[in-house]
Structure 1
Amino acid sequence: MKKILHFDNAILACVHIDIYTDGSSLGNPGPGGFAAVVKYKDENGEQKKIVKGGETATTNNRMEMAAIIAGLHWVSTNLKAGTCTVHSDSRLIIQSMREGWKRKKNLDLWAKMDTVVGRFSKIEWQWIKGHNGHPENEEADGIAVQQAMLHKRKLFSNEN
């Protein structure tokens, strides 16, 4: 069943949006990378967008959070959709979002997460087992590792 959403005199047909995320760090802390694989359908059929990035000094948990924040931000900025499912292999994040687990670390990223989550009418939080052959999760993992390696090279070069 398609939902027809009206925004600024434009119509965007949106069935469902899935965001598959992963984060990686080479050391803890160390250079890290993240990736979000966003899958959705529009008038041209199934689409996929990769959102990625990283830092030269970070942790795996921060990169897991950054992947979700970046994926949700891209969706809220470009698709103007109301609902989506976030798939992550981070039990910490999924349980925190589902059950309100107490947040003790990375409070800056939790604040960003809360802000971007507030842009949606509904988000489903789905834990998936990492490194278990799920195509989109494996893709996100591979890109996150590539980003971590890229930021490792930046750490030891003169690049900004």
Structure 2
Amino acid sequence: MSSNGHQLIIYTDGSSRGNPGPGGFGAILMWGDKRKEISAGYRRTTNNRMELLAVITALESLTKKNIPLTIYTDSQYIVKAIQERWLDKWIKTNFAGGKKNKDLWLRFYKLAKDYQITFKWVKGHADNPFNNRCDVLATTAADGKNLLIDEEYEREMTNL
């Protein structure tokens, strides 16, 4: 805990209808009794990209740097990539072997340097109200109109 008794808590979730398919993400940022919700939908993407984009967008929305924060996610992909140091290996090898989502992982890596981040895994679709709310934000965004374009993903799929 920081000296004022508050720590920034972030919950994130990503969703895609089909993998790939339309997708969305949701994030809730909590500081004391303050709450901020963020979400967006994309016309063609993957679940892992939306999980990552939820984390990235939450971090990009912060105005203070070098603060401790805890990110709760139901994505084993994200938690293991950080805690088991997969990401460090991927960066050292320039994502050799067809490792996916290089654009988003590099964006996250650069952002993460400015914070003291602890990742915690939570079981998805269970009894955590904040994770469940993020799921609603993500799926509602995925099902919405005027979906954004995940440009890097669509460019990669076109170039295969």
| TM-score of the superposed pair, with normalisation by structure 1 | 0.80
Structure number with the bigger relative contact order (C-alpha 8 A, sep ≥ 6) is 2
Q: Which residue of 1 aligns with 2:81?
A: 96
Q: Does 1:23 align with 2:14?
A: yes
Select which of 135, 138, 148 maps to 2:142: 148
Structure 1 segments (4+ residues) deviating >3 Å: none
Deviations 1:68-109 (A, max 9, x none): 00111112x2x4451100000000100111121254110000
In structure 1, list runs of 5 or more residues that go unmatched.
4-12, 156-160
In structure 2, list runs of 5 or more residues that go unmatched.
91-98, 148-160
Residue identity matched to 2:146: K
Calculate the aligned-residue CA RMSD, in Å.
1.6
Larger relative strand fraction: 1
Count matched residues: 137
Q: Does 1:124 align with 2:118?
A: yes
Percent identity, aligned pairs only, is 40
Q: Which residue of 1 aligns with 2:46?
A: 59
| TM-score of the superposed pair, with normalisation by structure 2 | 0.80
DSSP 3-state at the match of 2:143: helix
Q: Which residue of 1 aligns with 2:93?
A: none
Q: Which residue of 2 aligns with 1:38?
A: 29
CA distance in 1, matches of 2:31, 2:20: 34
Post-superposition offset of 1:57: 0.7
Post-superposition offset of 1:133: 1.4
